[in-house]
Amino acid sequence: MGSVKDLEVLEAPSEGKPGRGRFHFSDRYSVFDWGEMPDLIEGKGAALCLMGAYFFERLEDMGMPTHYLGVVGKGGVPRRLSELEEPADTMEVKLVRVVEPRPAGDAYDYSAYSAEKGNFLIPLEVIYRNSLPEGSSVFKRLEEGSVSIEDLGLEGPPKPGERLERPILDVSTKLESTDRYLGWEEAREIAGLSPRELLELKEATMRINALITSVVEPLGLENQDGKVEFAFDENRRLMLVDVLGTPDECRFEYRGMPVSKEIARIFYRGTEWSREVEEAKRANRIEWKGLVRQSPPPLPARMKELVSLLYKSCCDGITGKRFFGAPPLEEILAELGKNI
């Protein structure tokens, strides 16, 4: 069980053979690495499943290997989107092994990865950035000094809302209790990648970024940034895993309004709970959740309803199928703008 989707294992993976499983996308959501929040966003799970399936199918048509096997709707067998007549919230996928890094004091031991050959999750999240919207982690990291302008490949100090002349790539941990940004050489070393494999991972992320941008721009969406996850198959061939191209994996914007769970983040940033979370993470990077005394408050009822419509409208637009018959994004965001 994850914070937003559950995994059903149909066949466990081994070192030399992929397994098979199903993602059950829920209506749960998460912000600030907290895990399950107090509300459910109706229809969100099915919308994420269908959007993710759309991009996996497009990428496979481009010759890029993925773990996607199809969407499971009526009949209980995986099918392509073109065969579906109504929303479904379950995706069948190939499974790889997850090699957990071992906690070692206030750090993690990744030495096991140096001996791994194939069929395992690469313990990194790769982030592409086409712009640096207000609230981007880049500004906080620059202020703290944990990253430099040169590290990011920028020519000068960025400004909130700045669109970049060319995309930049960032990388963080995937399997630690709190995501931690890394330099590229450290990322390569902990994951046991060769220089060629690291380059291939970066090139694949840029291709994915270009595809997502080409799909959402005609809908009036700006693809500001997004994350991608990879694994090696049993032959140590790079393969896309998890899900991508959705408002949970990407930061989309429509005429200055966020079209993602950033809307929920904006609401929660103004709460005392969020301030406690920040303080706890500074105090203990690994066991911070135990230091937070408060529980996150629920979203206001109408905001929750509008966020539900936002996911549904995105899904209809991206897939080109009226799975939900949701109102246009412009209409939903006009009202949301009055509530955040």
Per-residue pLDDT reduced to its tens digit, 309-335: 999 999 999 999 999 999 999 999 999
What pLDDT was estimated at residue 256?
87
- The per-residue pLDDT for range 108-130, each reduced to its tens digit, is 999 999 999 999 999 999 999 99
Mean pLDDT for 69-75 is 94
What pLDDT was estimated at residue 286?
80
- The per-residue pLDDT for range 17-70, each reduced to its tens digit, is 999 999 999 999 888 888 889 999 999 999 999 999 999 999 999 999 999 999
Q: What is the mean pLDDT of the chain?
A: 93
Q: What is the dihedral of CA 42, 213, 143, 297, to 10 degrees?
A: 0
What pLDDT was estimated at residue 245?
97
What pLDDT was estimated at residue 273?
96
Q: Three-class SS of residue 100?
A: coil
CA distances from 284 to 30, 142, 145 (A): 20, 21, 19
Residue type, 54: Y
Q: Which of 83, 78, 82, 77 is nearest to 67 (CA)?
A: 78
Q: What's the pLDDT band for 2 if we cut at 50, 70, 90?
A: low
Report residue 99: phi and psi, to 5°: -95, 105
Retrieve residue 68's tokens: 């996607």
Report residue 31: phi and psi, to 5°: -135, 150
Residue-wise DSSP of 198-250: HHHHHHHHHHHHHHHHHHHGGGT-EEEEEEEEEEE-TT--EEEES--SSTTTE
Beta strands in the chain, from DSSP E residues, in sequence order:
5-11, 19-25, 68-72, 78-79, 90-95, 102-104, 107-109, 120-121, 124-132, 162-173, 222-232, 238-241, 250-254, 257-259
Q: Which of 79, 175, 165, 168 is nearest to 127 (CA)?
A: 168
Strands 257-259 and 250-254, by their bridges, are antiparallel
Residue spans of the domains in the chain: they are: 5-336
Q: What is the dihedral of CA 172, 176, 180, 182, to 10 degrees?
A: -50
| DSSP 8-state symbol, 101 | P
- The per-residue pLDDT for range 293-314, each reduced to its tens digit, is 999 999 999 999 999 999 999 9
Contact 179, 185 (CB under 8 A): no
Residue type, 42: E
Contact 307, 281 (CB under 8 A): no
- The per-residue pLDDT for range 279-291, each reduced to its tens digit, is 999 998 888 999 9
Q: Three-class SS of residue 35?
A: coil
CATH of 5-336, one of 3.40.50.300, 3.30.470.20, 2.40.50.140, 1.10.150.130: 3.30.470.20
Report residue 270: phi and psi, to 5°: -90, 10
**In the predicted model, is pLDDT for residue 1 greater than 70?**
no
| DSSP 8-state symbol, 180 | -
Mean pLDDT for 207-235 is 97
Rg of the chain over Cα atoms, rounded to whole angstroms, equals 20
Q: Which residues pair with residue 94 across a beta bridge?
A: 20
